Amino acid sequence: EIEGNFFTVNLPRVRAAFERLPWVRKVDLRRQWPDRLEVALEEHVPLARWGADALVNTHGEVFTAAYDGKLLNFVGARETLKEITIQYEFFRRNLAAIGLAPVQIGVTPRRAWQVRADNGMTIELGREDIEPRLERFVGAYARTIGRLQRRIDHVDLRYSNGFAVRIHELRGEPRGAAKAGKKG
């Protein structure tokens, strides 16, 4: 697709040819006197999957390329992806403090946030004050539900002064049979 010489090559056409490559995010082209064409490429760095076959890069931009590696999932409208990308680092850092990692981050059409952790726990954050809510949960985790020797299915942080927890039920076990870990 690149035709011509140093003087006649169509730079917009060359740029477009590079930008059609799946992993190319940005292209800078310059003529370098006397006989060189300088090409600088910036690659997409995949952060998450979005939908069935799209990827989201570290800038919150959607692109399509083959990738077999493990990535977290983003769920939400395209216009929320930049914000989800920004909040990802906050979720990652705070959940890491309690030994967890986000595997899915979502924003509903009503702008409510939800995070699923690598242990299967779903965390409902609501639409407002998501950072203070998660920080409050992380601060209380070690001395509360972190001591339970049971799997937690769901945590609802949408309360002003606390949170609700749903513990995983085992078949044949009566409701409310969860036991807290030893004190001290």
pLDDT tens digit at each of 184 positions of the chain: 677 777 788 888 888 999 999 999 999 999 898 888 899 999 999 999 999 999 999 999 999 999 999 999 999 999 999 999 999 999 999 999 999 999 999 999 999 999 999 999 999 999 999 999 999 999 999 888 888 878 899 999 999 888 999 998 865 555 554 444 443 3
- Evaluate whether 62 touches 56 at the Cβ level (below 8 Å): yes
Supply the pLDDT for residue 139: 94
Supply the pLDDT for residue 184: 39
Give 31's contacts (C-beta < 8 A, 6+ positions apart).
6, 11, 37, 38
Supply the pLDDT for residue 181: 43
Supply the pLDDT for residue 33: 87
- Evaluate whether 105 touches 60 at the Cβ level (below 8 Å): no
Q: Where in the chain is the domain with CATH 3.40.50.11690?
A: 46-167
Query: What CA–CA distances, in Å, run from 26 to 38, 60, 165?
Result: 14, 14, 45
Q: Is the peptide bond before 34 cis (omega within 30 degrees of 0)?
A: yes
- Evaluate whether 164 touches 156 at the Cβ level (below 8 Å): yes
CATH number of 46-167: 3.40.50.11690
Between 81-96 and 130-141, two packed helices, what is the crossing angle to 10 degrees? Answer: 20
Supply the pLDDT for residue 132: 97
CA distance 134 to 91: 8
Q: Which amino acid is at 93?
A: R
Nearest to 85 by CA among 122, 112, 58, 63: 58
Supply the pLDDT for residue 35: 82
